[in-house]
Structure 1
């Protein structure tokens, strides 16, 4: 079993600390772990997608939110935007190597959550029953 101390060993040597209010890593973490950021990275993990393909894949995201999310992820160096000089214009989005590393970790979390939903739903039912 890995202890918390083993997991955090060497973290004090890092130049960034997401728990510090002014640390720039906090904004990137928010972009990655926000609802639309995580789903967008997860969708792009499967391969390059055009904007509307991505919008259909990330069910429920508005055009405006997807656009803002993609801009933030592109700014953070996680997503690459490739505009093709065609008529009509074609824009493809894909993960950068950094984005792929983040998406791999997110995919593991997504699979864990999906695989644990029976337990989660049972816990919710117990919680709600106890408060009814």
Structure 2
């Protein structure tokens, strides 16, 4: 897992880097250039911007919102809220039953909070072929 360099921001960038097989800096540059982050210095990633960014890659990743983790057949981005801090939102990768939190170096078998949003990732626009593995990709 790509670990976010700052514990207060950058989790979405780290999750994208993990999926695309990039380092954090390369993912941040591509995402900032595409308008997926607020700026090159503000690493916050909103749900709608993340979905648009992934779907506009040269080799697109299609996003479909799932209602539960049981619907995820491949990889998903989870958008969570910490109960102790009502304002703190966080991105996590879910793959093969494990949670890849960019605040940790190792995958977790369980997660302390339920996701607010589940963005299941697919290789096709009809959502028939779930994204199963990390692959190198470049943005347009």
* TM-score interval, normalised by the smaller of the two chains: under 0.3
Give TM-score scaled by structure 2 length: 0.25
RCO higher in 1 or 2 (8 Å CA, sep ≥ 6)?
2
More strand by share: 2
Give TM-score scaled by structure 1 length: 0.26
